[in-house]
Structure 1
Amino acid sequence: MKLAVVGGGSTYTPELIDGFARLRDTLPIEELVLVDPAAERLELVGGLARRIFAKQGHPGKVTTTANLEAGVAGADAVLLQLRIGGQAARNQDETWPLECGCVGQETTGAGGLAKALRTVPVVLDIAERVRRAAPDAWIIDFTNPVGIVTRALLQAGHKAVGLCNVAIGFQRKFAALLDVAPGEVHLDHVGLNHLTWERGVRLGGPGGEDLLPKLLAEHGDAIAEDIRLPRVILDRLGVVPSYYLRYFYAHDEVVREQKIKPSRASEVAAMEKQLLEMYGDPKLDEKPELLSKRGGAFYSEAAVALASSLLRNTGDIQVVNTYNNGTLPFLPDDAVIEVPATVDGSGTTPLPVAPLDPLYAGLIANVTAYEDLALEAAIHGGRDRVFKALLSHPLIGQYEYAEALTDSLVAHNREHLAWA
């Protein structure tokens, strides 16, 4: 089995490598190729990857290359983990929207649209090249904004599934609180990427006993602190929103915080510099503790589980980003939703979802409409398309803001926008 990781020079990658090494019985990789044009970073990450495999006794071969076609040729699966423009572009996404009093974030709001505009054309080009070099390969997308990027891939006819670590993070936290194995916990997880709610926490499978009321009663304070929302919100709703819902439920509070704190991108950039120095130490043969602060917790376990289900035809249930196909009846079939699905060699089949309260369905429908317009802007370009996408976003929605944010977005991303 051959896997390729495009964006393999990321400081995230050792988290992925550690998972591949530990879970080699679940996903027996014979060859792992890290693909990245950043030669210096790739050399550091590749060296650590080989040492991790060696320490854990993994027999697979780890190679590195800047040549995409050579790296993905004959691959069974290709993982995409890209950040076009790096942390510098992310820092802009997190700062210039604040000038209009709008949240600055790299996956939602104006910053999220900027990232989509930079990313979708590059990902589609990569996917076409993968299709020629490895026509049978599955593409697993971890590149944000995952929902929009996955929809772009699917609409272009690629064998693609989107992946996020929010659901597996909740699964692991709830399992620890319940003192059970993570595999025993099934989430009633529903929504769009970075716009999801946990409506149930069931033991043993989709039909198991719902322990979410017990979790909220006994651990509500800890859960609320983790997602940075007031405990009363969880109690009134009876669900656990993902922490990305804080940008919607506490938007103005978040903006006030962001205006006085360093951006997350600046923090991560400093962390990445330190991590790369660590990766260059020939004695280091495991992922460093600092990596846990970088983000992407449990990404490796989620990636291994998904790749195993696709390549070994296991029919396991995974939380994925995939076509709606009637699962949420108020959305188009070609909307990309994030829900539990059965995953096998033929792809993904979402499990049935109980009817949604209008409180959630309304926001999902609104953000789906924004994603439609965002994808149009990313594929076809044009200032008017950018303006319409921003105007439609529930965190913006005023024409004065949309006009100003359009100007800022284009000005800060001109080098990445072929039409600008």
Structure 2
Amino acid sequence: MKLTVIGGGGFRVPQIFAAISAGDAQLRVTELWLYDTSAERLDVIGNVLAQLVPALDRPPRVHTTTHLGDALDGADYVFSAIRIGGTAGRISDEHTALRLGVIGQETVGPGGLAYALRTVPHALRLAEQIAERAPGAWTINFTNPAGILTEAMRGVLGNRVVSICDTPIGLMRRAAGAVGQDPRDADFDYVGLNHLGWLRSLNVDGHDALPELLASDERLDGIEEARLFGFEWVRALGTIPNEYLFYYYQHREAMARLTGGEPTRGEYLDAQQSAFYRAAGETPERALELWDATRHERESSYMGESRPEDERYGRRAEDVEGGGYSEVALDLMTGLATGEASTMILGVGNDSRGSGELIVPQLSPEAVIEVPCTVDRDGVHPHRVAPLTGEMTGLMTTVKASEQLVLRALAEGSRELAWRAFANHPLVDSVAVARELVDAYCAATPEVGALLR
């Protein structure tokens, strides 16, 4: 079985390698192909993987290449984790927004829309190459902003492309653990978009344990998201939100943190990743040691601007450890390949249940949403979810409208539609600022500027 990683020189590739090499992994990957435009980064990650091999039970053969066709030919699964523009592009996205007084975050608000403008054309070209060279492959998208990118790629690949994110399933697992339940035995209701969603029920033996969980300070203290938003707010909502809703629910606090004089997340990662690749290139025999230390530091500081002061640069150990997105990807591939049914939260088309039934009737059929899905040899089967009501409906429909306007803007080459996309987003509070954002992002990325007339 051949697995291809697009963005194979990326920092988190060793986590995928370790997951598929585990002795208890039901999926047997025999060939791992890593494609990247940077031969230097491929060399570094190749050294990390080689040094991991002695501790692994069933490592696949690893191939690295800068030739996309070789990587894709005959692939059974394609994992997309690309970063168009690199960390420099992320830094530009962040600072452009912050200079204009709006949230500067990679996937949320104007930063996410800018990232989409830069990345969608490349994602579409990749989808076309997959359709030509590996037409039977399943494509797993982890490239951000995952919802927009997957929606674009579905126009080429249909239901054989889905997106994954580890934050929703991590939330569900923490909630199940807080009530003493094995997450594999829990039924649950979750609905949202990528980096915008809510856990709305947690059924154990036919009983919804979420109200009891919300009523207990002790149990809520074990859930990272509840500590982030405050117990009173999650009780008021009657749900537990995805952590990225921090930028919406606590916008003022987020802006204060982001403009407090510390490096942005992009700047932090640029410095950290550059130091790692440089040091691992100079001392290849230490590649694994350097990678492991860098990984722990990176995950401990994840979304630091959203956390209480005592957790900003040192998350609780139980929140850092875990399989993360590599485990979600492995579970997805295992279900598809072996038929061993597994339930997870995936980004799928709103019309993926078939027969004209929309999962969220308030959204268009092509909208990509995140909901619980059962995966088996017959494919990905989205669950029905409880009706979407109240303020959740308003936020989801508004944000999805902005995402779809961005896709229309790129398809039609319209800067005016891009302006409307930014102006419509709830985190952009001025149409004049929206126009400045679009013009600034077009100037920063000439490729985008040439597309949007």
Q: Provide the TM-score with structure 1 as the length reference.
A: 0.93
Q: Any conservation in 2 of the 1:390–1:397 contact (CA below 8 Å)?
A: no
Secondary structure of the equivalent of 1:228?
helix
Higher RCO (CA < 8 A, seq sep 6+): 1
Superposed, 1:36-115 pairs within 5 Å as: 36-115=36-115
The alpha-carbon deviation at position 321 of structure 1 amounts to 0.4
Which one-letter code corresponds to 1:361 in the other structure?
T
Secondary structure of the equivalent of 1:78?
strand
Tell me, yes or no, if structure 1 residue 373 matches structure 2 residue 405.
yes
Deviates more, 1:374-383 or 1:314-323: 374-383
Tell me, yes or no, if structure 1 residue 406 matches structure 2 residue 438.
yes
**Partner residue, 2:267:** 266
Tell me, yes or no, if structure 1 residue 291 matches structure 2 residue 323.
no
Superposed, 1:143-182 pairs within 5 Å as: 143-158=143-158, 159-182=160-183
Structure 1 residues 22-58: Cα deviation after superposition (integer angstroms, max 9, x where no partner): 2663221011111101101101101212332342132
Distance (whole Å) between structure 2 residues aligned to residue 210 and residue 226 of structure 1 = 18
Distance (whole Å) between structure 2 residues aligned to residue 275 and residue 20 of structure 1 = 24
Q: Any conservation in 2 of the 1:120–1:379 contact (CA below 8 Å)?
A: no
Distance (whole Å) between structure 2 residues aligned to residue 236 and residue 23 of structure 1 = 45
Which one-letter code corresponds to 2:326 in the other structure?
S
The alpha-carbon deviation at position 347 of structure 1 amounts to 2.9
Alignment partner of 2:390 out of 340, 343, 358: 358
Distance (whole Å) between structure 1 residues aligned to residue 250 and residue 269 of structure 2 = 23
Distance (whole Å) between structure 2 residues aligned to residue 321 and residue 81 of structure 1 = 15
Distance (whole Å) between structure 1 residues aligned to residue 449 and residue 185 of structure 2 = 46
Q: Any conservation in 2 of the 1:42–1:64 contact (CA below 8 Å)?
A: yes
The alpha-carbon deviation at position 62 of structure 1 amounts to 1.0
Distance (whole Å) between structure 2 residues aligned to residue 74 and residue 386 of structure 1 = 37
Secondary structure of the equivalent of 1:95?
helix
Q: Any conservation in 1 of the 2:196–2:245 contact (CA below 8 Å)?
A: yes
Q: Any conservation in 1 of the 2:192–2:396 contact (CA below 8 Å)?
A: yes
**Partner residue, 2:25:** 25
**Partner residue, 1:200:** 201
The alpha-carbon deviation at position 175 of structure 1 amounts to 4.2
Distance (whole Å) between structure 2 residues aligned to residue 269 and residue 203 of structure 1 = 43
* CA pair 306-252 structure 1, distance change in 2 beyond 3 A: same
The alpha-carbon deviation at position 368 of structure 1 amounts to 1.4
Distance (whole Å) between structure 2 residues aligned to residue 345 and residue 293 of structure 1 = 38
Deviates more, 1:339-348 or 1:301-310: 339-348
5+ residue gaps, structure 1: none
Secondary structure of the equivalent of 1:294?
helix
The alpha-carbon deviation at position 191 of structure 1 amounts to 0.8
**Partner residue, 2:305:** none
Superposed, 1:308-323 pairs within 5 Å as: 308-323=334-349
The alpha-carbon deviation at position 88 of structure 1 amounts to 0.8
Secondary structure of the equivalent of 2:380?
strand
Secondary structure of the equivalent of 1:10?
coil
Deviates more, 1:352-361 or 1:308-317: 308-317
Secondary structure of the equivalent of 2:78?
strand
Tell me, yes or no, if structure 1 residue 338 matches structure 2 residue 370.
yes
Distance (whole Å) between structure 2 residues aligned to residue 176 and residue 372 of structure 1 = 36
**Partner residue, 2:241:** 241
Distance (whole Å) between structure 1 residues aligned to residue 102 and residue 85 of structure 2 = 22
**Partner residue, 2:317:** none
Structure 1 residues 182-205: Cα deviation after superposition (integer angstroms, max 9, x where no partner): 42344421111111001122347x
The alpha-carbon deviation at position 283 of structure 1 amounts to 5.3
Which one-letter code corresponds to 1:211 in the other structure?
A
The alpha-carbon deviation at position 242 of structure 1 amounts to 0.8
Distance (whole Å) between structure 2 residues aligned to residue 292 and residue 201 of structure 1 = 30
Q: Any conservation in 2 of the 1:78–1:139 contact (CA below 8 Å)?
A: yes
Distance (whole Å) between structure 2 residues aligned to residue 417 and residue 129 of structure 1 = 25
Secondary structure of the equivalent of 2:285?
coil
Structure 1 residues 203-258: Cα deviation after superposition (integer angstroms, max 9, x where no partner): 47xxx432222333133345366662232111111111111111111112211211
**Partner residue, 1:282:** 285
The alpha-carbon deviation at position 133 of structure 1 amounts to 1.3
Secondary structure of the equivalent of 1:29?
coil
Alignment partner of 2:423 out of 391, 398, 420: 391
Which one-letter code corresponds to 1:282 in the other structure?
E
* CA pair 176-270 structure 1, distance change in 2 beyond 3 A: farther
Distance (whole Å) between structure 2 residues aligned to residue 19 and residue 2 of structure 1 = 15
Distance (whole Å) between structure 2 residues aligned to residue 9 and residue 234 of structure 1 = 39
Q: Percent identity?
A: 36
Which one-letter code corresponds to 2:285 in the other structure?
P
Q: Any conservation in 1 of the 2:163–2:346 contact (CA below 8 Å)?
A: yes
Tell me, yes or no, if structure 1 residue 140 matches structure 2 residue 149.
no
Q: Any conservation in 1 of the 2:98–2:104 contact (CA below 8 Å)?
A: yes
Q: Any conservation in 1 of the 2:175–2:223 contact (CA below 8 Å)?
A: no
The alpha-carbon deviation at position 375 of structure 1 amounts to 1.2
Q: Provide the TM-score with structure 2 as the length reference.
A: 0.86
Q: Any conservation in 1 of the 2:225–2:243 contact (CA below 8 Å)?
A: no
Secondary structure of the equivalent of 1:288?
helix
Secondary structure of the equivalent of 2:365?
coil
Tell me, yes or no, if structure 1 residue 301 matches structure 2 residue 327.
yes
RMSD of equivalent CA atoms: 2.2
Which one-letter code corresponds to 2:446 in the other structure?
R
Deviates more, 1:221-230 or 1:9-18: 221-230
The alpha-carbon deviation at position 417 of structure 1 amounts to 4.6
* CA pair 224-175 structure 1, distance change in 2 beyond 3 A: closer
**Partner residue, 1:127:** 127
Q: Any conservation in 2 of the 1:26–1:305 contact (CA below 8 Å)?
A: no
Distance (whole Å) between structure 1 residues aligned to residue 227 and residue 125 of structure 2 = 36
* CA pair 94-227 structure 1, distance change in 2 beyond 3 A: farther
Distance (whole Å) between structure 1 residues aligned to residue 448 and residue 280 of structure 2 = 31
5+ residue gaps, structure 2: 303-322, 352-357
Secondary structure of the equivalent of 1:156?
helix
Q: Any conservation in 1 of the 2:428–2:434 contact (CA below 8 Å)?
A: yes
* CA pair 278-210 structure 1, distance change in 2 beyond 3 A: farther
